[in-house]
């Protein structure tokens, strides 16, 4: 460490010793809580270290006050932006989030469909799931299950009929 760095370090230490509690108190009054005050006080001293310049003894509090005011303004501005962004996200997400009632009905319906499918023969269940969930065509399902295409059609129809009572539809046709 050269003499200039050593002198700067000593000046910063003395500035901290002489003014830290006063600065912390000032920030606590402005911000209303000690944790934000401690964070900003820390940031102020880091700012001085980065600049590599310590104000003169008669200007210390004035200089620290100016830096503190700017950082408090930045903090409030940042929080206002964050709050606005979070509010915007909440407004966007709300229509996508189903209500508890809708979720409960969906779980109940899925449970009923699952039970209905488990009452089907294994190949019928497998054919319907491959078709609906994997998007496979009838020929591919037939090859996978080693059955005919007409058997796959019957399996899928049987699985759909088993699930129909549990899947909401448009209502009775007239």
d(CA 21, CA 174): 82
125: closest CA among 92, 159, 101? 159
* CATH placement of domain 3-94: 1.10.1740
d(CA 1, CA 24): 30
Determine the pLDDT at residue 1. Answer: 66
Q: Name the stretches of the chain with pLDDT < 70.
A: 1, 93-96, 168-174
Determine the pLDDT at residue 19. Answer: 93
> Is the Cβ–Cβ distance between 93 and 86 less than 8 Å?
no
Return the domain boundaries, the chain.
3-94, 100-166
> Is the Cβ–Cβ distance between 87 and 133 less than 8 Å?
no
Determine the pLDDT at residue 51. Answer: 87
Overall fold of domain 100-166: Arc Repressor Mutant, subunit A (1.10.10)
d(CA 102, CA 108): 10
Determine the pLDDT at residue 110. Answer: 85
Q: pTM to 2 decimals?
A: 0.51
pLDDT, tens digit, 9 for 90 and up, residues 113-146:
888 888 899 899 899 989 988 899 999 999 999 9
């Amino acid at each position: 460490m050269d003499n200039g760095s050593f002198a700067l370090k000593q000046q910063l230490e003395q500035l901290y010793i002489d003014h830290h509690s006063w600065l912390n108190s000032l920030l606590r009054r402005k911000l209303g809580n000690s944790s934000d005050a401690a964070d900003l006080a820390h940031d102020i001293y880091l700012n001085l270290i980065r600049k590599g310049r310590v104000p003169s003894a008669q200007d210390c509090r004035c200089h620290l006050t100016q830096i503190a005011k700017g950082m408090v303004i930045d903090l409030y501005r940042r929080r206002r932006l964050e709050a606005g962004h979070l509010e915007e996200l909440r407004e966007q997400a709300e229509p996508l989030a189903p209500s508890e009632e809708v979720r409960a009905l969906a779980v109940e319906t899925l449970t009923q469909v699952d039970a209905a499918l488990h009452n089907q023969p294994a190949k019928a269940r497998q054919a319907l799931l491959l078709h609906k969930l994997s998007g496979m065509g009838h020929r591919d399902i037939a090859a996978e299950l080693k059955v005919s295409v007409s058997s796959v059609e019957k399996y899928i129809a049987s699985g759909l009929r088993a699930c129909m009572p549990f899947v909401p539809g448009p209502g009775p046709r007239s």
